Chains A and B, each alone.
Chain A
Amino acid sequence: MNKDEYQKLVKKHEPKENKFENIIYAFFIGGLVGFIAEGLVVLLMNAFLLSRTEAGAWTCLIIIFASSLFTALGFFDNWMSKSKAGLLIPTTGFAHSVTSSALDYKKEGLITGLGSNFFKLAGSVILYGILSAFILVIVKVIIGG
């Protein structure tokens, strides 16, 4: 059996991921996060007489704080892995990745551990997020004049 034949055999034995089920999970759980956030925006606008932009910023902070707190309390990783991409794609996933890295490396010291590993998982998101925003602005300037 050569390498190619073996790799075909391995493919044959790998259980198929149920993509449809994953999509359904992600759609509804991701949607639920959006629904809760929208509820918060409306609540903040009415309770504190904020503008929609201000209420949106506060909502973002609350969602980030909640997912970081839930990560620190130790149950958010179960929610994350069960919800497929549902909690990974919203800000919840970003906050979770930063908090979990911080928790993991705090024992190696504030500089050599926590500081240098804080963005271990989130670093790529920040780097390519900024890069794509920069490119899009250039595109917008060229097209939009």
Chain B
Amino acid sequence: MASKKFNQVYIKDNFSVIGPLEGDGLLKTYDLVMDNYYYGEKTFEQAEIKMQKIVLANLLNKNKLSENKVDVLIGGDLINQTSISSYNASKFNIPYLGVYSACATYTEELILASSLIHGKLAKNIVAITSSHNLNAERQFRYPVEYGAVKKHTTTFTTTAALSTLITNEQTNIKIESATIGKAIDMGISDTNNMGAIMAPAAADTLNTHLMDLKRSINYYDLVITGDLGKIGKELFLEVLNKNYNINLKKYMDAGCEIYTNAQETYAGASGPVALPLVLFDKVLSSKKYKKILIIATGSLQSTQLANQKLGIPGIAHAVSLEVI
């Protein structure tokens, strides 16, 4: 079965740093804002490593945790071979797992962390994820200073890093259950329309989650998808309705909640850090919702295979949170 219930797994704290554009956007609750994309470093890659270092060091300080009290560090990002997370991990004396599910990385990290804590193999785990707009541009699209004409379906990679402390001590946010998604290829090969690649995976994971745990969609006060964007969001709702007969009303897409309309970010925000940013900013701090399902979505292409015109697999992992 793809779904699993957890006992005694809680989210204790988080720490975030966001980019300059994100600071001017819709987000209200965050810890630090970068004043520029270099963040005092020589290159954008090194800036992203520094972002990860800062969110990890600050999270440990804030919770008075020494490095040897953290059982595992789980890190993920978008850059080749998850190099940003690995370079950051080398600066700390903590056992490290690097994971990749593109923009679905955050929930993959939560599922791994919860499984380890549920199985009593760990007590404290830190999950980190980050993305940097200009690093993603360099790797997946064009040189930073190249002014390519973009399609309306393109999403805009968020610049931010966020660390989360997952623990077995009781707090007010419980990780209740999770569903591991299937990689789904619906024949979409357009890397400028990642919402369309990910929407069927998100719908499938949501349906599997509800079936496995025998829940109706009304069980949740809110469902948040990761970064489907303005177009992917519509596709997701339509696929849910047509294929699974699910009529989702209490719904939010994190990709649509980060930038204002004036910020020219095409179809909205993307990147693995988009979902946790919105989760901690809009959802958990508002205290309006008790039962929340987060579905992070990822488009699993590589720069080589994208040019070979195959359908790109989408992935979505769901985690159910309860505010106590």
Which positions in A face B, CB cutoff 8 Å? 1, 3-4, 6-7, 9-10, 13-15, 17, 71-72, 74, 76-81, 84-85, 87-88, 96-97, 99-101, 103-105, 107, 120-121
**Chain B interface bracket (under 10, 10 to 19, 20 to 34, 35 or more):** 20 to 34
- Chain B interface mostly helix, strand, loop or mixed? loop
- Chain A interface mostly helix, strand, loop or mixed? helix
Chain A neighbourhood of B151, CB < 8 A: 17
A1 B239 Cβ-Cβ under 8 A: yes
A81 B150 Cβ-Cβ under 8 A: yes
Interface membership of B242, Cβ < 8 A:
yes
A69 to chain B, nearest CB (A): 12
Interface membership of B309, Cβ < 8 A:
no
A3-B311, A6-B200 given; A14·B149 CB < 8 A: no
Q: How far, in angstroms, from A72 to B144 measured CA to CA in the complex? A: 11
> Given B146, B150, B187, B243, which contacts A3 in the complex, CB threshold below 8 Å?
B187
The 6 listed contacts between A and B (C-beta, < 8 Å) are: A6-B239, A9-B239, A14-B153, A17-B151, A80-B149, A100-B145
Which positions in B face A, CB cutoff 8 Å? 42-43, 138, 142-153, 186-188, 193, 196, 200, 231, 234-235, 238-239, 242-243, 311
A3-B311, A10-B193, A10-B235 given; A107·B142 CB < 8 A: no
Q: How far, in angstroms, from A57 to B121 measured CA to CA in the complex? A: 72
A6-B200, A14-B153 given; A77·B145 CB < 8 A: yes
Q: How far, in angstroms, from A71 to B146 measured CA to CA in the complex? A: 8
